[in-house]
Amino acid sequence: MGEYPIASHCPQCGSASYTRVRVKQGLAFTDDRKCKDCGTRYTPPTPTWAAVIFIVLGCFLMGGSVVGTVAMVRAELRVPGLFSYVHGIPPAVALMTGLACFIYGIRSLKKREEKCVGAMLKQSGKVPR
């Protein structure tokens, strides 16, 4: 997580006007934003398309690790001593990485949905119970 707050509008004053600011870290889907009104720097949320890519990538990694593990177990049953426990490390790493990607994508979509519902309730004047 970055050092700046994540928001679609300025977290300080709520303004939607901003200028783009170069990101200091290596991986970012878009530039950071700096509010034109109060000067607060913030990071926009993960785009929906990126969250979907994380979910799909996570599914492929998890599925591939399961298929790879099943294939190794079947081969081991046919030829005992073919694999050692060390051969199970790459599928385990792929499984954990896939799970992390999947969870990140789901959380990103969930946060976006919560913000959309909150904005709709705020706009309509209804208070959630």
pLDDT at 117: 56
Within-domain flag for 76: yes
Average pLDDT, integer, range 75-100:
88
Residues 63 and 112 in one domain: yes
- pLDDT band at residue 111, thresholds of 50, 70 and 90? confident
Task: List the domain range (segments joined by +) for residue 17.
Answer: 1-44
Residues 52 and 38 in one domain: no
DSSP, collapsed to helix, strand or coil, labels residue 18 as: strand
Q: pTM (2 decimals)?
A: 0.72
Domain count along the chain = 2
106: closest CA among 63, 34, 58? Answer: 58
pLDDT at 129: 45
At 20, list the tokens: 């783009």
Mean pLDDT over the full length of the chain: 85
